[in-house]
């Protein structure tokens, strides 16, 4: 079981803890459609908020990718895939966020459901950040 938490780069463990805590904090409330609906309705009503959120999201994802592009372990891959997800989501929000109808009942349900994997990935990354270890290099 501990080999599942082995990584090649010590930075992966620090990023896993940070990314995992963010995912759990952000997604834990948003798995509830009522809260997701309030959030999406308020965002859809303000193109400025969509643009600012997209900029921050793209910057966070892109910044993570600058320092961490690693698929050598499950933990490393989840950190990298989350960074890619944030970069794509942020760029999409910047480019077409103002056109999206994100506060429809279908979109709200999909958004709430999309936070379930984010919550699970976040929990795994927190555990990996605390319990993970750097693997011995292969000789």
Over residues 77-94, mean pLDDT? 97
| pLDDT interval class at 45 (50, 70, 90) | confident
Q: Which of 62, 27, 57, 45 is nearest to 98 (CA)?
A: 45
Asked whether the predicted pLDDT for residue 24 surpasses 60, the reply is yes
> Is there a contact between 125 and 79 (Cβ–Cβ < 8 Å)?
yes
pLDDT at position 2: 65
- Give residue limits of the domains in the chain: 11-129
Which is higher by pLDDT, 4 or 20?
Answer: 20
């Amino acid at each position: 079981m501990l080999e599942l938490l082995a990584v090649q780069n010590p930075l992966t463990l620090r990023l896993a803890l940070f990314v995992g805590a963010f995912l759990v904090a952000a997604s834990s409330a948003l798995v509830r459609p009522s809260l997701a609906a309030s959030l999406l309705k308020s965002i859809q009503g303000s193109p400025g908020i969509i643009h600012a959120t997209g900029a921050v999201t793209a910057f966070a994802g892109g910044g993570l990718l600058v320092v961490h592009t690693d698929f050598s372990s499950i933990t490393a891959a989840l950190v990298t895939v989350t960074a890619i997800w944030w970069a794509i989501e942020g760029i999409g929000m910047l480019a077409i966020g103002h056109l999206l109808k994100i506060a429809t009942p279908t979109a709200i349900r999909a958004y709430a459901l999309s936070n379930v994997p984010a919550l699970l990935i976040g929990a795994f990354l927190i555990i990996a950040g605390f319990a993970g270890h750097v693997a011995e290099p292969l000789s």
